[in-house]
């Protein structure tokens, strides 16, 4: 169906005053207002000067000046009062004909009739920027004789003008003949924005200008989500509403079972049709004119000729008859097969190069064995099939190359120990065809875990030289580089030094350790990006590694960073191998670039994600995969948007694994609204919070974490205040102050925004932004990277985790659900496993006789109360009680009796994404009630309770009151915990358990905060999370996986 049909009747205003919000008052001297004719008679009418104030707007040249045309006489007596009165009122467009004479006939040879297919005029007015304010194209015609124009204050936008006219004719400018509107030949008409009325339209008689935009044509939500599905009409409205405008996209999101496949378009002899000015790709929202011989770009309004090979007649509605046969004209997402002109070089073979740390830590932890195993299992499924290339470099205190020539029976290792004069000892056979050298590659992977087991190098790592060596081998073809690192690099280029400083943790100076100290990794990453090399890092820290520096490699090369803190082979090898297999075998786009365009009047301001910007807006992406997520901000670039809709188009040019050059084009039209209520109703809370997280990461790195929390808090307050403020009346683009409001009744928060305060409070207490001294800098950096690359299905749980009660779940929970009426959020996985009821994140909802599962989308925790049912505990852990048992050594039995099987199915289903063909399990940490270190970490997630750091002292009840009061209520630090929804279960823990009350100095308590004792110098991290919150025992290590 075709939607958003806007019809403007040029004569309707002459017959009815109901279409106007204000009828202009008569001027002095009684009678209708009739503009005085200019000298010489005929000619159009120009408005009187704004006033006698010097410099107030544009003044025409004084009369009598040779060749200066004419100037209207000064305003009549009382006109100043009229201007002042009008400035206080709402003014709607006047009738086209006016009272001063008949409308002019259309000039001979003018453009096609206004009702021609594809042409339209937006209802109301045409703001500056559509024609008159554009630098391209000639000015529009002057107003018709007798048409009233409102005097305008300097610099103010006049919404009452039907079309902005040109300035009075300058010296030597010929007047319009016969007092008629000046016409432009069709090929020279000013090119306005989509939706602009055709120039030279004849207002005599009823003419209808129609805009036909089918808003049902959208980009699937798995690929693209906007924070709001409508765009505010003006920057003033956007500012007052405080809604963060922007979007997030996941261009290669996997296709679910019920999702429609993306259509592939093979360009014909005309090639790929694009705008000749802004290079926008042809899409479903362009306007067709002159019976289909021309089309108007919906981004820049440029008129383009339709190639003869692409021509098709239009139907009665002005739409192409073949639009449903051409996916690019009827779908929001299409994929073009790119011709040769889109290739800088022939598509290269998919290449995979592995840079592996073989130091003592890597060998003894089991990382080397797990990595070799995962790579070997992935060989059959690597993209490219017979074209795929592969290579390896290992390093400790020297760099080891491997000759994998197909004529060898086993690989040859070549060692280069001179890190300053590094060279490639063998130019060939370091990056080989996998199919040809398969036997040699498999032999190498089988022997790798034992090659360095006898005499491993302890605590020495030359990562920088190894990266340079790998770059030398890969730079001719590009590809994916996978780096495996277990210790801090400390030899050669890229050496790092410990920068931990407990004295600045929890202070504004903490940002210093979150910023890279050396530019080496960023400079190297930029060079990698230029050569189409993407870096994925797999880090296994057992102590501080400075992820802020090494993280520049995946960030600038469109890669990903995965961290496995205190890697334990028995507990972590499975999820590491699953993640590595997914990284290697998922659909991957090579040699990619992406650009996002939007309609003139709006602009893209910031980008979020992992990429390198070339120029101003071209995102260089050596690799893109299903985990690649990008965000952007959208803002007004002009005083008003000159169309009734805004188009956003993202185009990804890439090489597929099979060697095809493709262009994925995603286009969506968003309607313009002048009502705050409509804008608020269109807000997507999940997409908005996802974008706010990405913005807060940028604020944290540019200023500090305290500022990021304040930004999140203030944004939430502003959004709620603007949403409850309702629609506002505007005059000339400015908001009119409203009368006093009745404060006796508090306006409710709109339903679609109800979760934003809760999500904001949770973001402020998230590991990425929480205050205090108990968050390790490497852990915070890992959280930043995760937020940058998170799609909404993960971020909503990373922000506000799910808490399930396992000890009293319903009899149906853990089984397949066959009831179609059950909400989607209550089932999970491909088998539709019914989930237990979720609980609010407050310690008041924990009971000492209960067992609870917490899932934040990345990791899971099982909290076991002191008095939990021994049969249930025994089913899950193989022991009737967890007393005197180290929880770190426990594993959950998911294949025992019925209860254990049900819990196992619930855990599995939470990671079984319907749209993702890959399954990656999570680390499950067991938390015993009363275990200070582990429980303190668990209570980080109880975001509805107050925490003991600045900006985190709100409970959910306090924060809602703070938001409802417009940010004027003071937080009650350490005050009583508000009762969250859901009530208090019986037998809840009494006071003074760890985390149950605000902590005393030097003790564990509450959600951990700045009151914790600082760790000893050179503290290591790993083991039980949260151990960095108190002086550790000798050689104690910190932190669970971030």
pTM as predicted: 0.75
Instruction: Give the relative orientation of helices 870-877 and 898-909 as an angle to the nearest 10 degrees.
Output: 60
Euclidean distance between CA atoms 624 and 608, whole angstroms:
15
Per-residue confidence (pLDDT) for residue 735, from 0 to 100: 57
Neighbouring CB atoms inside 10 A of 1040's CB total 21
- Return the number of other C-beta atoms located less than 10 Å from residue 327's C-beta: 18
Residue 541: predicted pLDDT: 95
The pLDDT tens digits of the residues spanning 507-528 come to: 999 999 999 999 999 999 999 9
Continuous segment of H or E residues that includes residue 238: helix 235-241
Report the pLDDT value the prediction gives residue 822, as an integer from 0 to 100: 87
What is the model's pLDDT at position 916?
Answer: 85
Pairing assessment for the beta strands 412-416 and 399-403 based on DSSP bridges: antiparallel
> 3-state class of 639 per DSSP?
coil
pLDDT for the residue 425 = 85
H or E segment to which residue 438 belongs:
helix 438-451
pLDDT at 562: 96
Closest CA to 368 of 389, 386, 350, 395: 395
Whether residue 195 contacts residue 651, with contact meaning beta carbons closer than 8 Å, is answered with no
Residues of the chain with pLDDT under 70: 1-211, 728-746, 969-1042
- CB-CB contact of 492 with 419 (8 Å): yes
> Which of 357, 595, 608, 562 minimizes the C-alpha distance to 470?
357
The tens digit of pLDDT for each residue in 848-899 reads 999 999 999 999 999 999 999 999 999 999 888 888 888 888 889 888 889 9
**Which pLDDT score is estimated for 728?**
67
Dist. CA 897–CA 283, nearest whole Å: 57
User: Can you give 567-594 as a three-state secondary structure string?
Assistant: CCHHHHHHHHHHHHHHHHHCCEEEEEEE
Return all residues near 715 (Cβ < 8 A) that are at least 6 apart: 242, 244, 692, 760
CA–CA dist 905, 810 (Å, integer): 14
Q: What contacts 75, CB < 8 A, 6 or more positions away?
A: 48, 49
Exposure letters 242-262 (e unless 16+ CB within 10 A, then b): bbbbbbbbbbbbbbeeeeeeb
Please tell me whether residue 829 adopts helix, strand or coil conformation: coil
Hey, is 225 helix, strand or coil? strand
- Other CB atoms within a 10 A radius of the CB of residue 1019 amount to 20
Which pair of structure tokens corresponds to residue 125?
A: 């007015």
Per-residue model confidence (pLDDT) at position 738: 55
- pLDDT for res 971: 53
Name 816's bridge partners: 833
> Using CA atoms, how far apart are residues 397 and 540, in angstroms rounded to an integer?
18
Q: How many whole angstroms separate alpha carbon 663 and alpha carbon 265? A: 10
């Amino acid at each position: 169906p075709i939607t958003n049909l806007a019809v403007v009747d040029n004569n309707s205003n002459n017959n009815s005053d109901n279409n106007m919000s204000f009828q202009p008052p008569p001027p002095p001297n009684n009678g209708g207002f009739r503009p005085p004719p200019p000298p010489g008679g005929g000619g159009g009418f120009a408005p009187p000067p704004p006033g006698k104030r010097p410099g107030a707007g544009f003044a025409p040249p004084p009369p009598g000046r040779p060749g200066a045309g004419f100037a209207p006489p000064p305003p009549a007596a009382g006109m100043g009062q009229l201007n002042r009165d009008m400035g206080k009122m709402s003014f709607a467009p006047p009738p086209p004909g006016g009272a001063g004479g008949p409308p002019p006939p259309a000039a001979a040879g003018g453009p096609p009739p206004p009702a021609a297919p594809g042409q339209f005029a937006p209802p109301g007015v045409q703001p500056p920027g559509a024609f008159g304010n554009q630098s391209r194209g000639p000015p529009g015609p002057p107003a018709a004789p007798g048409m009233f124009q409102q005097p305008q204050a300097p610099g103010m936008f006049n919404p009452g003008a039907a079309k902005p006219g040109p300035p009075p004719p300058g010296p030597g400018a010929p007047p319009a003949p016969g007092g008629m509107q000046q016409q432009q030949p069709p090929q020279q008409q000013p090119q306005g924005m989509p939706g602009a009325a055709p120039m030279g339209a004849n207002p005599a008689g009823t003419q209808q200008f129609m805009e036909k935009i089918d808003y049902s044509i959208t980009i699937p939500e798995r690929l693209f989500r906007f924070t709001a599905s409508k765009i505010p009409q003006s920057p003033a409205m956007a500012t007052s509403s405080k809604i963060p405008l922007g979007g997030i996209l996941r261009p290669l999101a996997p296709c679910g079972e019920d999702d429609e496949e993306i259509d592939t378009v093979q360009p014909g002899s005309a090639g790929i049709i694009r705008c000749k000015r802004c290079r926008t790709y042809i899409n479903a929202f362009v306007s067709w004119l002159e019976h289909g011989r021309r089309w108007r770009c919906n981004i820049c309004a440029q008129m383009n000729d339709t190639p003869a090979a692409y021509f098709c007649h239009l139907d009665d509605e002005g739409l192409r008859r073949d639009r449903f046969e051409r996916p690019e004209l009827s779908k929001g997402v299409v994929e073009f097969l790119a011709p040769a002109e889109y290739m800088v070089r022939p598509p290269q073979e998919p290449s995979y190069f592995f840079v592996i740390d073989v130091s003592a830590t890597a060998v003894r932890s089991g990382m080397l064995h797990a990595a070799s195993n995962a790579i070997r299992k992935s060989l059959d499924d690597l993209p490219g099939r017979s074209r795929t290339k592969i290579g390896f470099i290992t390093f400790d205190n020297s760099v080891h190359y491997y000759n994998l020539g197909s004529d060898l029976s086993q690989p040859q290792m070549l060692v280069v120990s001179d890190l300053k004069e590094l060279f490639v000892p063998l130019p060939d056979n370091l990056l080989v065809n996998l199919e040809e050298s398969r036997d040699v590659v498999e032999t190498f992977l089988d022997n790798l875990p034992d090659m360095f087991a006898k005499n491993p190098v302890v605590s020495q790592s030359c990562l920088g030289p190894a990266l340079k060596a790998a770059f030398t081998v890969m730079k001719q073809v590009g590809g994916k580089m996978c780096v495996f690192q277990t210790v801090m690099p400390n030899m050669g280029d890229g050496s790092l030094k410990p920068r931990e400083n407990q004295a600045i943790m929890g202070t504004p100076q903490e940002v210093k350790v979150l910023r890279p100290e050396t530019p080496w990794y960023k400079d190297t990453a930029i060079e990698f990006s230029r050569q189409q090399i993407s870096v994925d890092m797999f880090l296994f820290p057992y102590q501080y590694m400075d992820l802020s520096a090494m993280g520049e490699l995946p960030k600038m090369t469109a890669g990903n960073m995965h961290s496995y803190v205190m890697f334990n082979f028995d507990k972590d090898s499975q999820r590491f191998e699953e993640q590595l297999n997914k990284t290697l075998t998922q659909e991957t786009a090579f040699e990619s670039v992406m650009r996002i365009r939007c309609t003139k009047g709006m602009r893209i301001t910031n980008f979020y994600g992992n990429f390198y910007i070339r120029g101003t807006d071209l995102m260089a992406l050596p690799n893109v995969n299903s985990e690649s997520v990008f965000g952007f901000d959208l803002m007004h670039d002009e005083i008003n948007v000159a169309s009734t809709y805004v188009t956003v188009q993202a185009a990804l040019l890439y090489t597929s694994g099979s060697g095809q050059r493709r262009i994925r084009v995603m286009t969506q039209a968003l309607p313009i609204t002048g009502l705050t209520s409509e804008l608020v109703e269109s807000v997507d809370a999940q997409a908005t919070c996802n974008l706010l997280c990405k913005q807060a990461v940028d604020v944290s790195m540019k200023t500090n974490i305290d500022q990021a929390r304040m930004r999140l808090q203030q944004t939430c307050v502003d959004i709620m205040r603007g949403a409850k403020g309702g629609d506002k009346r505007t005059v000339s683009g400015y908001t009119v102050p409203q009368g006093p409001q009745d404060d006796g009744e508090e306006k409710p928060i709109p339903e679609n925004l109800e979760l934003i305060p809760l999500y904001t409070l949770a973001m402020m207490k998230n590991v990425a932004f929480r205050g205090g001294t108990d968050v390790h800098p490497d852990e915070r950096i890992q959280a930043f990277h995760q937020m940058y690359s998170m799609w909404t299905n993960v971020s909503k749980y990373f922000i506000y985790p799910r808490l399930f009660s396992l000890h009293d779940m319903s009899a149906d929970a853990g089984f397949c659900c066959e009831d179609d009426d059950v909400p989607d959020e209550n089932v999970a996985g491909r088998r539709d496993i019914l989930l237990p009821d979720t609980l609010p994140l407050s310690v008041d909802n924990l009971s000492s006789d209960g067992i609870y599962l917490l899932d934040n989308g990345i990791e899971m925790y099982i909290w076991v109360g002191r008095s939990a049912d021994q049969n249930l505990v025994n089913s899950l852990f193989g022991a009737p009680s967890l007393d005197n048992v180290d929880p770190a050594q426990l594993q959950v039995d998911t294949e025992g009796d019925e209860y254990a099987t049900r819990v196992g199915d619930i855990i599995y289903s939470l990671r079984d994404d319907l749209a993702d063909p890959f399954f990656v399990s999570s680390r499950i940490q067991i938390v015993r009630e009363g275990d200070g270190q582990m429980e303190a970490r668990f209570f980080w997630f109880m975001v509805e309770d107050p925490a003991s750091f600045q900006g985190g002292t709100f409970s959910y009840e306090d924060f809602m009151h703070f938001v409802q009061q417009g940010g004027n209520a003071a937080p009650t630090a350490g005050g009583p915990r508000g009762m969250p929804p859901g009530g208090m279960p019986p037998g809840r823990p009494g006071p003074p358990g760890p985390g149950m009350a605000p902590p005393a100095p030097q003790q564990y308590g509450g959600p951990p905060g700045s009151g914790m004792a600082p760790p000893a110098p050179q503290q290591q991290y790993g083991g039980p999370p949260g151990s960095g919150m108190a002086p550790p025992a000798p050689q104690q290590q910190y932190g669970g996986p971030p």
